[in-house]
Amino acid sequence: MKIAVGADHAGFRIKDELKKRLAALGHSVEDAGTDSEQSVDYPDFAERVGRAIAEGRADRGVLVCGTGIGMSIAANKIAGVRAAVVTDPLTAEMSRRHNDANVFCAGARVLAPEKIAELLDLWLKTPFEGGRHERRVEKIRRLE
Ligand code: RB5
Protein backbone atom coordinates (compact mmCIF):
# COMPACT_ATOMS: atom_id res chain seq x y z
CA MET A 1 0.00 0.00 0.00
CA LYS A 2 1.12 3.60 -0.57
CA ILE A 3 0.95 5.37 2.80
CA ALA A 4 1.54 9.07 3.50
CA VAL A 5 2.69 9.80 7.02
CA GLY A 6 2.69 13.16 8.79
CA ALA A 7 3.06 14.59 12.28
CA ASP A 8 3.58 17.80 14.17
CA HIS A 9 6.29 18.28 16.82
CA ALA A 10 4.30 16.21 19.33
CA GLY A 11 4.13 13.23 16.95
CA PHE A 12 7.51 13.58 15.26
CA ARG A 13 9.28 10.78 17.18
CA ILE A 14 6.54 8.23 16.79
CA LYS A 15 6.20 9.12 13.09
CA ASP A 16 9.76 7.96 12.49
CA GLU A 17 9.11 4.70 14.30
CA LEU A 18 5.88 4.12 12.36
CA LYS A 19 7.64 4.85 9.06
CA LYS A 20 10.25 2.15 9.74
CA ARG A 21 7.57 -0.30 10.77
CA LEU A 22 5.45 0.38 7.68
CA ALA A 23 8.45 0.06 5.36
CA ALA A 24 9.42 -3.25 7.05
CA LEU A 25 5.89 -4.51 6.33
CA GLY A 26 6.47 -3.74 2.63
CA HIS A 27 4.48 -0.53 2.33
CA SER A 28 5.69 2.39 0.27
CA VAL A 29 5.92 5.37 2.63
CA GLU A 30 5.74 9.07 1.75
CA ASP A 31 6.94 11.31 4.60
CA ALA A 32 5.01 14.58 4.69
CA GLY A 33 7.00 15.95 7.67
CA THR A 34 7.56 17.46 10.13
CA ASP A 35 11.27 16.81 10.44
CA SER A 36 12.08 17.78 14.04
CA GLU A 37 10.58 18.53 17.44
CA GLN A 38 10.52 22.24 16.69
CA SER A 39 7.01 23.63 17.17
CA VAL A 40 4.92 23.63 13.99
CA ASP A 41 1.22 23.91 13.08
CA TYR A 42 -0.52 20.54 12.70
CA PRO A 43 -2.94 21.65 9.91
CA ASP A 44 0.02 22.04 7.52
CA PHE A 45 0.85 18.35 7.83
CA ALA A 46 -2.78 17.22 7.83
CA GLU A 47 -3.13 19.12 4.56
CA ARG A 48 -0.12 17.41 2.97
CA VAL A 49 -1.32 13.93 3.89
CA GLY A 50 -4.92 14.74 2.96
CA ARG A 51 -3.86 16.04 -0.45
CA ALA A 52 -1.79 12.89 -1.04
CA ILE A 53 -5.01 10.88 -0.55
CA ALA A 54 -7.20 13.25 -2.57
CA GLU A 55 -4.72 13.31 -5.47
CA GLY A 56 -4.31 9.52 -5.49
CA ARG A 57 -0.63 9.54 -4.48
CA ALA A 58 -1.46 7.59 -1.33
CA ASP A 59 -4.00 4.88 -0.53
CA ARG A 60 -3.92 5.62 3.19
CA GLY A 61 -2.66 8.30 5.54
CA VAL A 62 -1.26 8.34 9.06
CA LEU A 63 -1.24 11.52 11.16
CA VAL A 64 0.05 11.97 14.68
CA CYS A 65 -0.23 15.07 16.85
CA GLY A 66 -0.65 15.46 20.61
CA THR A 67 -4.18 14.06 20.70
CA GLY A 68 -4.93 13.11 17.07
CA ILE A 69 -7.92 15.45 17.23
CA GLY A 70 -6.51 18.53 15.49
CA MET A 71 -5.10 16.39 12.70
CA SER A 72 -8.45 14.68 12.13
CA ILE A 73 -10.41 17.93 12.12
CA ALA A 74 -8.03 19.46 9.57
CA ALA A 75 -7.67 16.39 7.33
CA ASN A 76 -11.45 15.88 7.17
CA LYS A 77 -11.81 19.27 5.45
CA ILE A 78 -10.29 17.74 2.31
CA ALA A 79 -12.73 16.00 -0.02
CA GLY A 80 -12.14 12.26 -0.14
CA VAL A 81 -10.53 12.10 3.28
CA ARG A 82 -12.17 10.06 6.03
CA ALA A 83 -9.88 10.58 9.00
CA ALA A 84 -10.56 8.79 12.29
CA VAL A 85 -8.98 9.30 15.70
CA VAL A 86 -8.07 5.81 16.83
CA THR A 87 -7.74 5.22 20.57
CA ASP A 88 -8.26 1.48 21.07
CA PRO A 89 -8.85 -1.77 19.16
CA LEU A 90 -12.59 -1.07 18.79
CA THR A 91 -12.11 2.35 17.15
CA ALA A 92 -9.31 0.90 14.99
CA GLU A 93 -11.56 -1.88 13.70
CA MET A 94 -14.84 0.00 13.42
CA SER A 95 -13.34 3.02 11.64
CA ARG A 96 -12.30 0.58 8.91
CA ARG A 97 -15.24 -1.85 8.94
CA HIS A 98 -18.03 0.72 9.07
CA ASN A 99 -16.53 4.09 8.05
CA ASP A 100 -13.91 2.99 5.49
CA ALA A 101 -11.54 5.47 7.15
CA ASN A 102 -8.54 6.19 4.95
CA VAL A 103 -6.54 8.28 7.43
CA PHE A 104 -5.46 6.97 10.84
CA CYS A 105 -5.00 9.71 13.45
CA ALA A 106 -3.47 9.13 16.86
CA GLY A 107 -2.34 11.11 19.86
CA ALA A 108 1.28 10.84 20.94
CA ARG A 109 0.29 12.39 24.27
CA VAL A 110 -2.56 9.92 24.72
CA LEU A 111 -1.11 6.53 23.84
CA ALA A 112 2.28 4.87 24.22
CA PRO A 113 4.23 4.49 20.95
CA GLU A 114 3.92 0.67 20.98
CA LYS A 115 0.15 0.98 21.42
CA ILE A 116 -0.13 3.35 18.44
CA ALA A 117 1.95 0.94 16.34
CA GLU A 118 -0.27 -2.03 17.33
CA LEU A 119 -3.45 -0.09 16.57
CA LEU A 120 -2.07 0.97 13.19
CA ASP A 121 -1.31 -2.67 12.31
CA LEU A 122 -4.86 -3.64 13.21
CA TRP A 123 -6.35 -0.68 11.31
CA LEU A 124 -4.33 -1.48 8.17
CA LYS A 125 -5.39 -5.11 8.05
CA THR A 126 -9.08 -4.54 8.79
CA PRO A 127 -11.27 -4.46 5.64
CA PHE A 128 -14.29 -2.25 4.92
CA GLU A 129 -17.47 -4.29 5.27
CA GLY A 130 -19.40 -2.54 2.51
CA GLY A 131 -23.08 -3.45 2.28
CA ARG A 132 -25.24 -1.02 4.25
CA HIS A 133 -22.08 0.85 5.26
CA GLU A 134 -21.36 1.67 1.61
CA ARG A 135 -24.65 3.60 1.45
CA ARG A 136 -23.71 5.56 4.57
CA VAL A 137 -20.22 6.36 3.35
CA GLU A 138 -21.78 7.49 0.06
CA LYS A 139 -23.97 9.89 2.08
CA ILE A 140 -20.80 11.28 3.67
CA ARG A 141 -19.33 11.76 0.17
CA ARG A 142 -22.40 13.74 -0.84
CA LEU A 143 -21.72 16.19 2.01
CA GLU A 144 -18.41 17.15 0.40
C1 RB5 B 1 0.32 20.97 19.91
O2 RB5 B 1 0.68 21.48 21.15
C3 RB5 B 1 -1.05 20.30 20.00
O4 RB5 B 1 -2.04 21.26 20.06
C5 RB5 B 1 -1.24 19.38 18.82
O6 RB5 B 1 -0.22 18.42 18.80
C7 RB5 B 1 -2.53 18.57 18.76
O8 RB5 B 1 -2.74 17.89 19.97
C9 RB5 B 1 -3.72 19.24 18.27
O10 RB5 B 1 -4.81 18.66 18.19
Q: What is the pLDDT of residue 29?
A: 98
CATH class of 2-143: alpha beta
| Gap from CA of 63 to ligand 1 centroid (Å) | 12
The span from the CA of 69 to the CA of 75, in Å, is 10
Q: What is the pLDDT of residue 144?
A: 95
Q: What is the pLDDT of residue 21?
A: 97
Annotation marks residue 98 as catalytic: yes
Q: Which is the closest atom of ligand 1 to the Cα of 69?
A: 10
Q: What is the pLDDT of residue 23?
A: 97
pLDDT in tens, 64-83: 999 999 999 999 999 999 99
Query: What are the angstrom distances between the C-alpha of 103 and each of 59, 115, 138?
Result: 9, 17, 17
Annotation marks residue 105 as catalytic: no
Helix (H) or strand (E) holding 107: strand 103-107
Q: What is the pLDDT of residue 129?
A: 98
Q: What is the pLDDT of residue 142?
A: 98
Q: Which is the closest atom of ligand 1 to the Cα of 9?
A: 6
pLDDT in tens, 89-136: 999 999 999 999 999 999 999 999 999 999 999 999 999 999 999 999
Helix (H) or strand (E) holding 43: helix 42-54
pLDDT in tens, 13-59: 999 999 999 999 999 999 999 999 999 999 999 999 999 999 999 99
| Gap from CA of 73 to ligand 1 centroid (Å) | 11
Q: What is the pLDDT of residue 102?
A: 98
In the structure, what pLDDT confidence band is assigned to residue 5 with cuts at 50, 70 and 90?
very high
Domain ranges for the chain, please list them. 2-143
